[in-house]
Amino acid sequence: MQTNDRHPVLLVHGLNDRATVFAKMAPRLVELGWPVYDINLQPNNGKLGLDRLAEQVAELVDRTFAPNEAIDLVGFSMGGLVSRYYIQRLGGIDRVRRFVTISSPNQGTKVAYLSQNLGCVQMQPGSEFLEDLNRDDTWLKQLNVTTMWTPYDLMIVPASSSQIPTVKEVILPVPLHPWMLTDSRSIQAVVEALSEPLKAQPKKAELRSLEVR
């Protein structure tokens, strides 16, 4: 891997988590030479909409990195959707080059029906929030996207809801949802995803044609 392809990596945690959930993954990435950053979303319990949490990601990126500096994003669980909103709706598409979702409810999770907090409602299958994001596939043409999930996940129900059609998929037999951040196989899969050669960036004319389809 070329060093100029080793972008800063921003880690985005999930529901009821803090950045400390990356306590095993982050040091490994640093050891391999990545500059690693994280964020503590406030509040972390779903009371605030995921779009508003994505604004916190946008603010951190603007405050931390140079205006034209490319970054890579790794989003765990709810953090994957927060990251997607940043990429797809808040201009992150111009900054992010590689994006990894880990056990994120990209198609929703039935567990979200247990709460009426706005962020949880947005994670329910068929929510307006998810339908809006999933109708838009323009971003997939520009980024290296990898989705990782375990068939034994009891937080993402069904577990296959972590899938994003047409992107690279890594399925790991990890027993529990939170262990997707600590299992050595998961960490290695993230390393490999962040090491992939970048896609060629589409020309502006190609992007315009995708937007008007």
When divided into structural domains, the chain yields a total of 1
Range of the domain at 124: 3-211
Asked whether the whole model's pTM tops 0.85, one would answer: yes
Whether residue 191 contacts residue 28, with contact meaning beta carbons closer than 8 Å, is answered with yes
Provide the CATH number for the domain around residue 207. Answer: 3.40.50.1820
Give strand pairing partners of 102: 76, 148
Query: What integer pLDDT is reported at residue 5 of this predicted model?
Result: 75
Would you place residue 2 in the very low, low, confident or very high pLDDT band (cuts 50, 70, 90)? very low
Dump pLDDT digits (tens) for 19-36: 999 999 999 999 999 999
CA distances from 40 to 10, 20, 180, 194 (A): 11, 9, 19, 22
Whether residue 195 contacts residue 116, with contact meaning beta carbons closer than 8 Å, is answered with no
Dump pLDDT digits (tens) for 55-86: 999 999 999 999 989 999 999 999 999 999 99
Mean pLDDT of the chain: 93
